[in-house]
């Protein structure tokens, strides 16, 4: 049997119901790369989901995420509270992917949340990512999931490390996908080829995204051009990148623990606040480390420009002054604290054009910012 990609306008075939996929033999990477803990992607998913207990599966309709849903359905269906898919509205393949997820989730007995990106969203990877993750976290809240599960593989992790290096990221960014939080990646140590083999052996149906072959996107240029050239010039480069990311992740966890103890966030009527006095004692370099941690604890992801603005605001912001950050976040300086908040904006829910829809056609309440 073989995996079956589905053309956007083609007829979709058999779904997730059926026998479990046979396990694959252990894989050892080429010289210089570490041995994979387990080459059976389904077993890896089973272990992760049983530990997590209550999860939301983020599924796009592509091969890896459809394989994730198959593995969850075969090995740990009781841990899955729901499936969520976000149609970016970028073409027939995106709509076909969302429709396939809806159909296959129903076959597996999973509740499925779907949404379509609003036409007003800026057509950039960052804007789509923000809208998608806002949707996924709202779905997790609604279904009571403790964690969101994605199908990112070891190859995705390596590509992300390279992209972060190219963009001049520090240790926090170079940790890439190996971070703590509300998202888990069971296949972070599983090669993409092992997931592809699992999908092929299990006859997993999926939609091929044509943009994966486009060199207009940095990730694809890294995958198709840069990494093959690096492997040819330095066969052990992937192991070195993974080791670098692991060191960065360890540093990140240590810093997060230290900052969390030193600067606890406090609930505020308008959001969350952190004591101002201690922060103003740091120099700019230290604030560049501390502020991203505090923002992340408040559910805010800072870009480089946002970090720079916050650092300057910490030292020069006047009492009562407010600065705007990306994602609709505001930071206000009060006498004793900095307050992070997302202003209530009824129109902002328009980020989701079709809103949030359950597969059983019972619409929930409108999505709003938290």
Q: Identify the CATH number of the domain in which residue 64 sits.
A: 3.40.50.620
Query: What is the model's pLDDT at position 56?
Result: 98
Per-residue pLDDT of 230-262, as tens digits, reads: 999 999 999 999 999 999 999 999 999 999 999
Residue 345 phi/psi, 5-degree rounding, is -140, 100
Domain, as residue range, for 327: 247-345
Per-residue pLDDT of 143-166, as tens digits, reads: 999 999 999 999 999 999 999 999
**Domain for residue 369, yes or no?**
no
Per-residue pLDDT of 292-350, as tens digits, reads: 999 998 888 888 899 999 999 999 999 999 999 877 789 999 999 999 987 654 333 33
Query: What is the model's pLDDT at position 183?
Result: 96
Quote the CA–CA distance of 290 and 256 in Å, as a whole number. 8
Per-residue pLDDT of 53-108, as tens digits, reads: 899 999 999 999 999 999 999 999 999 999 999 987 777 888 899 999 999 999 99
Query: What is the model's pLDDT at position 149?
Result: 98
> Are 198 and 284 members of one domain?
no
> Are 190 and 275 members of one domain?
no
> Are 127 and 209 members of one domain?
yes
> Are 315 and 178 members of one domain?
no
> Are 78 and 206 members of one domain?
yes
**Domain for residue 12, yes or no?**
yes
Please give the full DSSP string across 239-286, using - where no structure is assigned. HHHHHHHHHHHHHHHHHHHHHHHHS--EEETTEEEEEHHHHHTS-HHH
Per-residue pLDDT of 256-297, as tens digits, reads: 999 999 999 998 777 899 999 999 999 999 999 999 999 998
Q: What is the mean pLDDT of the chain?
A: 83
> Are 303 and 215 members of one domain?
no
| Beta bridge mates, 85 | 114
Number of domains in the chain: 2
**Domain for residue 364, yes or no?**
no
> Are 260 and 217 members of one domain?
no
State which of 192, 211, 234 marks the end of a domain. Answer: 234
Residue ranges of E strands in the chain = 4-6, 55-58, 80-87, 112-116, 147-149, 183-184, 205-207, 266-268, 271-275, 322-325, 329-333, 337-341, 357-358
Query: Which sign, positive or negative, has the C-alpha torsion 116, 186, 39, 77?
Result: negative
Query: What is the model's pLDDT at position 27?
Result: 30
CB 67 within 8 A of CB 198: yes
Quote the CA–CA distance of 369 and 134 in Å, as a whole number. 8
Calculate the CA dihedral of residues 62, 67, 72, 74 and round it to 10 degrees.
140
Query: What is the model's pLDDT at position 120?
Result: 53
CATH number, residue 269: 3.30.465.60
> Are 75 and 182 members of one domain?
yes
Per-residue pLDDT of 118-130, as tens digits, reads: 655 566 666 777 7
> Are 188 and 268 members of one domain?
no
**Domain for residue 362, yes or no?**
no
**Domain for residue 111, yes or no?**
yes
Residue 126 phi/psi, 5-degree rounding, is -65, -45
Per-residue pLDDT of 198-218, as tens digits, reads: 999 999 999 998 888 889 889
Query: What is the model's pLDDT at position 342?
Result: 74
Q: Is the pLDDT of residue 364 over 50?
A: no
Mean of pLDDT values over 26-43? 54
> Are 227 and 251 members of one domain?
no
Query: What is the model's pLDDT at position 103?
Result: 97
Share of the chain above pLDDT 70, in %: 79
Q: Is the pLDDT of residue 228 over 90?
A: yes
State which of 183, 209, 234 marks the end of a domain. Answer: 234
> Are 196 and 323 members of one domain?
no
Query: What is the model's pLDDT at position 152?
Result: 98
Query: What is the model's pLDDT at position 363?
Result: 32
Share of the chain above pLDDT 90, in %: 66
> Are 65 and 142 members of one domain?
yes
Query: What is the model's pLDDT at position 88?
Result: 76
328: left (phi over 0), alpha (psi -120 to 50) or beta: left
**Domain for residue 365, yes or no?**
no
Query: Global pTM?
Result: 0.81
**Domain for residue 292, yes or no?**
yes
**Domain for residue 131, yes or no?**
yes
Query: What is the model's pLDDT at position 25?
Result: 31
């Amino acid at each position: 049997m073989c995996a079956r990609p589905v053309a956007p306008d083609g007829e979709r075939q058999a779904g997730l119901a059926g026998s479990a996929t046979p396990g694959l033999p252990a894989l050892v990477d080429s010289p210089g790369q570490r041995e994979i803990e387990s080459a059976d992607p389904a077993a890896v998913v089973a272990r992760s989901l049983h530990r997590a207990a209550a999860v939301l599966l983020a599924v796009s309709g592509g091969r890896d995420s459809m394989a994730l849903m198959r593995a969850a359905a075969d090995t740990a269906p009781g841990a899955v509270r729901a499936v969520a898919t976000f149609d970016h509205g970028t073409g027939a393949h995106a709509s076909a992917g969302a429709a396939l997820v809806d159909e296959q989730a129903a076959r597996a007995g999973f509740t499925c949340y779907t949404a379509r990106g609003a036409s007003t969203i800026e057509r950039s990877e960052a804007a789509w990512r923000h809208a998608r993750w806002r949707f996924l976290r709202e779905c997790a809240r609604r279904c009571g999931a403790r964690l969101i599960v994605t199908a990112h593989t070891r190859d995705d992790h390596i590509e992300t490390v390279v992209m972060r290096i190219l963009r001049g990221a520090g240790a926090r960014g170079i940790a890439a996908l190996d971070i703590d939080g509300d998202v888990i990646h069971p296949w972070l140590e599983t090669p993409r080829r092992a997931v592809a083999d699992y999908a092929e052996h299990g006859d997993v149906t999926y939609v091929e995204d044509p943009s994966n072959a486009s060199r207009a996107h940095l990730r694809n240029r890294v995958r198709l051009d840069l990494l093959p050239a690096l492997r040819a010039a330095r066969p052990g480069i992937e192991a070195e990148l993974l080791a670098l990311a692991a060191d960065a992740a360890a540093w990140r966890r240590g810093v997060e623990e230290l900052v969390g103890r030193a600067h606890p966030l406090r609930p505020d009527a308008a959001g969350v606040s952190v004591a101002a006095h201690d922060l103003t004692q740091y120099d700019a370099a230290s604030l560049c480390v501390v502020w991203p941690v505090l923002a992340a604890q408040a559910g805010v992801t800072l870009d480089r420009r946002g970090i720079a603005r916050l650092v300057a605001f910490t030292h020069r912001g006047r009492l009562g002054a407010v600065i705007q950050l990306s994602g609709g976040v505001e930071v206000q300086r009060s006498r004793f604290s900095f307050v992070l908040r997302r202003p209530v904006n009824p129109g902002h829910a328009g980020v989701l054009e079709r809103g949030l829809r359950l597969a059983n056609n019972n619409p929930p309440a409108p999505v709003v910012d938290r």
